[in-house]
Structure 1
Amino acid sequence: MQTGSSLRSLLLTTALGLAGGAVGATWYVTNRVSPEPRRSFMDSYTFTPWELGIPFETVSFVARDGLRLRGWWLVHEAPRGVVIGCHGHGGTKDDLLGIGSQLWRAGYSVLVFDFRGRGDSDPWPQTLVSREVDDLHAAVVFAAERAPALPIGVVGFSMGAAVALLAAASEPRIAAVVADSAFTSGSDVVAHGIRATLRIPAAMLVIAADELVHRRHGYRFSHVRPLDAISQLAPRPVMIIHGQDDSLVPVAHAYRLYEAASEPRTLWVVPGVEHCGGYFLDRPEYCHRVRSFFAQYLGSLS
């Protein structure tokens, strides 16, 4: 009898421990997917277009739900198009000054802005490609009002690349997209992160985390599917860039996105680089390729 009681106690303790571990892991994943915004005085210590000698305006515009977003409008005197830059999940608009400055010098007005809950935009719980799509739609409206009749392109990195693909699928004013290090779906990238970070099977934890994200933040990352959106872009062009050694979003995502896209489409897999590493490996080559893509489909000064 004592042995049976001890066994039941052991099994109960083990079950509770496993349940507690699963809850803790689920909570950890949701906090990685949708972290609460934290700000400090250091957030203001960034470079601006001023350091690059580029004329710009500090601008703001309002998303569909009334949230105010803030950014920089790099003003070109005789623009042949507009390019909007979309930063990554934990990034801010100053991350885009490198490619943004080069596109401005190539003859485009450029809009870089902070997604909600980041940088100078209004506070909001960060999401993984949910409300950020609304933010890009608002940026397109702003750009179209400031530069009517000009074609609009979008360049995005990581989450920003996924946002660009999803927004372009329902926004015909986006004429061309450069997607650097995009993922195929929210579930795919979260599952990979679980396997790589926690080193446990991902399937059930993805489902649990998706449900908890829905309860906490009102969206489901499982509904985020750039793989479906990219097929809706044609005949508008898309350029897919990805690092061969990307450990955050494996390069297989790029190949699947390319296969799902229709012409005109371009795939550039950069050998030997990590997530969003193509720009830093060879800045001149990277900027040349992106400028050439937009020159072909948006127009250039030449």
Structure 2
Amino acid sequence: MKNRKVITFIAYLWCFAILGSYSVWNFGSRFITPVNQPISQPESGVEYEKVVISSASGTELHGWLFPGNVDMPVIAVFHGIGSNKGKMLPRVKLLSEAGYTVVVVDFSAHGESIAEKITFGKQEAQDVDATIKYIRSRFAESKIGVIGISMGGAATLLSESKRDIDALIIEGVYAKFIYAVRNRMALKLGILEPAITPLMVVQLEPRAGARLDELQPITQIKEYQGALYVLGGKDDMKTKEKETLSFYKEANEPKQLWIVDGAKHEDLYNFDSQKYSENVLRFFQRFLLNEEISEK
């Protein structure tokens, strides 16, 4: 009888372990699985052209180019994980109305850019490189600005082409990928986070092809020599305020900081479109157009 109880207990443990492993594996799949989908075209009457850019990641990046005024700078907008170029259209409109040429693309495994997996910034950095190279090939003498949102900002800092960017805005960017995992697991699982985070992280290299030491944008911030504007939500629990502040602290001059009161890990344009528009346009006016901006 005693042996039977021991065997039953061990069997239950094995079942629990198998079920738990499957659950963690399945949970990890949610983050790397492609989010490809057709993207609705910009509204009728808007001048734009479709572009396809070959990335070293192996992906054909599908994007749009919105022509601006002659001799104006070009600004690329890079979306976050799970998003796509269509969701960047409010920012495109803001920048286009100010006269800038704007380029938006779907990252690998997002929108219309077909790929096998999301890599949290590794292959997406190659997508940034390809996009900046494309812009430079068409607008050789133009200054280049970038807005990088969450993973889009991480990918920009991890890219080789950051040296070619004159003015960069990063929004809600993780300092190190391990922090991003911990923060999200803590939100979902509470006190179980310390037990689950290692099981998530161990999947990173075999499934996403990236190592933790390759996903540390904070270590690259000193390499960026252009103007930087660091944005983050005061109540963001996925990219905490201290991470946002660390980018500002470590960055070279010139730099600016905006901690958005009341904002979580969300679209900061949607959260406060008026203030966002004012701050972003003033930043680009100052550092792309070299216009003197009086402080309010």
TM-score (norm 1): 0.88
State the AA in 2 paired with 1:110. V
Give CA deviations for 1:71-124 in whole Å, capped at 9, x if unaligned.
Answer: 010101314211100011001101111112211222211100101111122333
User: Is 1:188 matched with 2:187?
Assistant: no
Counterpart Cα distance in 2 of 1:79 and 1:18:
64
Aligned to 2:207: 216
Q: What is the aligned-residue identity percentage? A: 24
Residue 286 of structure 1 aligns to which amino acid in structure 2? Y
1:90 paired to 2:89:
no
Structure 1 Cα separation of the partners of residues 89 and 5 of structure 2 = 64
Shift of residue 26 of structure 1?
A: 2.8
Q: Which moved more, 1:255-264 or 1:139-148?
A: 255-264
Secondary structure of the 1:202 match is helix
Superposition map of 1:218-297 within 5 A: 218-221=209-212, 223-234=214-225, 236-297=226-287
Aligned pair partner of 1:70 in 62, 67, 81: 62
Whole-angstrom CA distance in 2 between matches of 1:84 and 1:238: 15
1:258 Cα deviation after fit = 1.7
Asked if structure 2 preserves the Cα contact closer than 8 Å seen for 1:273 and 1:281, the reply is yes
Which residue number corresponds to residue 166 of structure 2? 175
Is 2:119–2:209's contact at 8 Å kept on the other side of the alignment? no
Distance 1:195 1:290 in 2: 32
**How far 1:130 sits from its partner (Å)?**
1.3
Q: Secondary structure of 1:145's partner?
A: helix
* TM-superposition CA deviations, 1:181-220 (whole Å, max 9, x none): 1111111101111111123443453333233232223223
Counterpart code for 2:110: R
Alpha-carbon offset, residue 228 of structure 1: 0.9
Distance 1:135 1:26 in 2: 29
Aligned length in residues: 292
Structure 1 residue aligned with 2:145: 153
Instruction: Write the deviation string for residues 25-46 of structure 1: whole angstroms up to 9, x where unpaired.
Output: 431342133124454xxx34x3
CA contact (8 A) 2:145 2:165 kept: yes
1:261–1:95 distance in 2 versus 1, CA, 3 Å: same
Q: Alpha-carbon deviation of 1:47?
A: 4.8
Q: Report how far residue 242 of structure 1 moved.
A: 1.1
Structure 2 Cα separation of the partners of residues 36 and 65 of structure 1? 14
Q: What is the match of residue 35 of structure 1?
A: 33
Match of 2:116 among 113, 120, 124: 124
Q: Is the 8 A contact 2:55 2:61 kept in 1?
A: yes
In the alignment, which of 13, 16, 19 is matched to residue 14 of structure 2? 16
* C-alpha distance in structure 1 between counterparts of 2:102 and 2:291, whole Å: 15
For the structure 1 residues 301 and 240, does the alpha-carbon distance in structure 2 shift closer, same or farther, using more than 3 Å as the test? closer
Pair 31,222 (structure 1): closer, same or farther in 2 beyond 3 Å: farther
User: In the alignment, which residue of structure 2 is the partner of 1:205?
Assistant: 196
Deviation at 1:170, TM superposition (A): 5.1
Query: For residues 48-63 of structure 1, what are the structure 2 equivalents within 5 Å?
Result: 48=42, 50-51=43-44, 53-63=45-55
Counterpart residue identity of residue 227, structure 1 = I
C-alpha contact 1:162 1:183 (8 A) present in aligned 2: yes
* Residue pair 1:56, 1:73 contacting (<8 A) in 2 also: yes
SS of the residue corresponding to residue 198 of structure 1 reads helix
Q: CA deviation at 1:296?
A: 1.2
- Distance in 2 between the 1:202 and 1:21 partners? 18
| TM-score for both structures, normalised by structure 2 | 0.89
Task: Work out whether residues 194 and 200 of structure 1, in 8 Å CA contact, stay in contact via their aligned partners in 2.
Answer: no
Name the CA shift for 1:300/1:114 in 2 (closer, same or farther; >3 Å): farther
**For each residue in 1:262-292, what CA deviation from the matched residue of structure 2 results, as whole angstroms up to 9, or x when unmatched?**
2221110111122234312321221111111
2:231/2:244 contact within 8 Å kept: yes
